[in-house]
Every structure is written in C-alpha cells, then in structure tokens.
C-alpha cells in the first residue's frame, strides 16, 4: 500500500493529467475555428442533407426540443430555423465555433448556445431529438464513451430520437489530426441497446470541400 503522502500526490497528478487533457482538447478546437474557414475543414457541408432528411422523416412538432451536439460550424440548426423549428440548442467545446455560427444565424433567432465539453454537460431539460454528426467519434476511451452513452440515455424523452453519425468502419482513422473511433451498425446498436431501439441506419460517402471522400454511418435510434 502507498504511504498517505504518495497516494495524495498520485491523486493530484491524475487530476492534473485529466485537466490538461480536457483543456488540450478545447485548445485544439479553438485553434481550428480561429484559423480555418468553413471550406478548409473536411467535415463541412453547405447543406447537411442526410441529417435534414432524417429529421423530416421523424415528423416532429415544430416546438420539439432539438440539440445539435458538437454542432461547430454546421448549418444544421440554421436550416431547422428556416423550417420553423423553434426550440433549438447547439453545444460545442469551442466557443469560437459557436460565435461563428451565431454570426451566421443572426441575433434575431433564439438559439441556445452551450459552450462545454460534452463530458461536462449537465442538461437542464430532456430533448425530443439529440443530433450528433462527427462529434461522438472523437471519444476514444472506454470510460468517456460509456459516459456519453449514459448521458444521451438520460437526456432524451421517452419516445424521443437520437440521430448519430460517425465515421464507418471504412472511414478515416483520424479527423482534424485527432484519433477517432470507427463504428459499424452492429456496434452502435449494441452500445445503445439498453435504452434505444434502432430505427434505421445507412452508410454514405461525404465529399469534403477539397474533393476527398469520407465514409460515414448514420443511425437513428428511438428512446424506449
């Protein structure tokens, strides 16, 4: 057994390591959005058609509470606003990304902008739809992934929906220079099976703004 002094030092060291990796993650994304325009990042879509078509299929009320996780510089929420949805939130680790999206959307629209690491998010309400394109796959540690699974399970109303899009097993191994986790339909279904039933899934190729291709999987889950 470690002497008391040593175990205290060890706890402090682990705490510092955690804080450092958290802020490094944030710093990475702040730097990306400070230095790169929309057309200089691989994930950008002028119109996120796949996500919007999936939302349309769900036939939600226009007052449904919808959150875009890792929304970044996506036009997803702006497009939903145009369609008349009124209870919209965007969460991202990067305050700069949210600032840019706020400018694009304009100040008249009432969108809830939440600048936080998803792993620190403590929602004040449950959502009818939780949308995540290309944020979840940046979680690569088992513990973080389980934390996200628990969070999303507790944050969606019964009967509500979860649209999750990640790199597929034939997609890239990295994004923005960071390691990612790839997923198959079977893996996602099994990860979320305790609280969600799979409604549909498909794979698709995203053409990046610089004409390369990335394989994505889209899944739609329904909260039991």
Ligand X SMILES: C[S@@+](CC[C@H](N)C(=O)[O-])C[C@H]1O[C@@H](n2cnc3c(N)ncnc32)[C@H](O)[C@@H]1O
Question: Given the rule CB under 6 A, which residues bind ligand X?
Answer: 25, 29, 43, 70-72, 74, 92-94, 97, 117-119, 133-135, 138, 175
Q: Provide the CB-side half-sphere exposure for 5 (13 A, CA).
A: 0
Give the H or E element holding residue 189. helix 185-192
Q: Residue 25 or residue 36: which is nearer to ligand X going by CB?
A: 25
How far apart are alpha carbons 129 and 57 in whole angstroms? 12
Nearer to ligand X, 94 or 201 (CB): 94
Residue among 29 and 192 whose Cβ is closer to ligand X: 29
Considering beta carbons, is residue 61 or 141 the nearer one to ligand X? Answer: 141
What Å distances lie between residue 63 and 128, 190, 220, CA to CA? 10, 31, 20
Least separation, in Å, of the C-beta of 118 and ligand X?
A: 4
Please say whether the beta carbons of 118 and 148 come within 8 A.
yes
CB of 13 to ligand X, least distance (A): 23
Shortest approach of ligand X to residue 125 CB, angstroms?
18
**Cβ at position 3, least distance to ligand X in Å:** 36
Q: How far is the CB of 194 from ligand X (least distance, A)?
A: 22
Q: Which residue is nearest to ligand X (CB)?
A: 72
* Number of other residues whose CB lies within 10 A of the CB of residue 71: 26
CB 179 within 8 A of CB 166: no
Query: Minimum distance between the CB of residue 154 and ligand X, rounded to whole angstroms?
Result: 17
> Taking the CB of residue 191, how many other CB atoms lie within 10 A of it?
15
Beta bridge partner(s), residue 179: 174
| E runs forming strands in the chain | 65-69, 87-92, 111-115, 127-133, 156-167, 174-175, 178-179, 196-207, 213-223
Q: Please, which residue, 71 or 160, has the CB nearer to ligand X?
A: 71
By beta-carbon proximity to ligand X, the closer residue of 216 and 221 is: 216
Instruction: DSSP letter for 24, please.
Output: H
């Amino acid at each position: 057994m470690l002497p008391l002094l040593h175990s205290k030092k060890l706890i402090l060291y682990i705490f510092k390591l955690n804080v450092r990796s958290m802020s490094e993650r944030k710093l990475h994304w702040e730097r990306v959005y400070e230095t790169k325009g929309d057309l200089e990042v691989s994930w950008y879509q002028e119109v996120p058609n796949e996500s919007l078509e999936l939302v349309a299929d769900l036939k939600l009320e226009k007052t449904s509470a919808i959150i875009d996780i890792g929304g970044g510089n996506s036009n997803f929420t702006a497009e939903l606003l145009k369609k008349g949805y009124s209870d919209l939130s965007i969460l991202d680790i990067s305050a700069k990304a949210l600032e840019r999206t706020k400018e694009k959307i304009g100040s008249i629209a009432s969108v809830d902008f939440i600048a936080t690491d998803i792993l620190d998010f403590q929602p004040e309400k449950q959502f009818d739809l939780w949308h995540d394109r290309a944020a979840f796959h940046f979680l690569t540690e088992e513990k973080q992934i389980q934390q996200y699974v628990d969070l999303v399970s507790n944050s969606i109303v019964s009967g509500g929906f979860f649209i999750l899009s990640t790199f597929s097993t034939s997609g890239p191994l990295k994004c923005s220079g960071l390691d990612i986790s790839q997923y198959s339909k079977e893996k996602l279904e099994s990860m979320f099976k305790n609280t969600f039933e799979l409604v549909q899934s498909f794979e698709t190729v995203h053409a990046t703004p610089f004409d390369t291709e990335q394989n994505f999987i889209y899944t739609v889950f329904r909260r039991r």
